[in-house]
């Protein structure tokens, strides 16, 4: 039981081959991700660059302005500062 005749195996092989061919045909006709994306315009790219520069500059400024001094010991961390 579970054995296939040569005709059944051939029929299954042809069905799989046909399904594989249809899948490859669909893949060739579907546009890729680059074709689906809209082209980037100049002003949008400049705005994105300006935002990134602003964020990096603000982070750099905050890093140099705000000083963080970790406590040297647990006692210093738990005692109130006078």
Whole-model pTM: value is 0.39
Q: Which residues lie below 8 Å from residue 4, measured CB to CB, with a gap of 6+?
A: 12
State residue 12's pLDDT score. 95
pLDDT tier at 20 (50, 70, 90 boundaries)?
very high
Alpha helices (H) along the chain: 6-29, 33-36, 42-65, 74-78
Average pLDDT over residues 24-38: 73
Domain-by-domain residue ranges, the chain? 6-78
pLDDT digits (tens, 9 = 90+) for 48-75: 999 999 999 999 999 888 877 787 888 8
Q: How far apart are CA 32 and CA 53, in angstroms?
A: 31
* 69 close to 77: Cβ distance less than 8 angstroms: no
């Amino acid at each position: 039981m579970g054995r296939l005749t040569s005709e059944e195996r051939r029929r299954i092989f042809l069905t799989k081959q046909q399904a594989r061919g249809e899948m490859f045909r669909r893949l060739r006709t579907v546009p890729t991700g680059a074709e689906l994306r809209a082209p980037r315009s100049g002003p949008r790219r400049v705005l994105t660059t300006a935002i990134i520069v602003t964020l990096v500059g603000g982070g750099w400024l905050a890093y140099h302005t705000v000083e963080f001094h970790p406590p040297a010991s647990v006692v210093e961390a738990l005692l109130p500062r006078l």
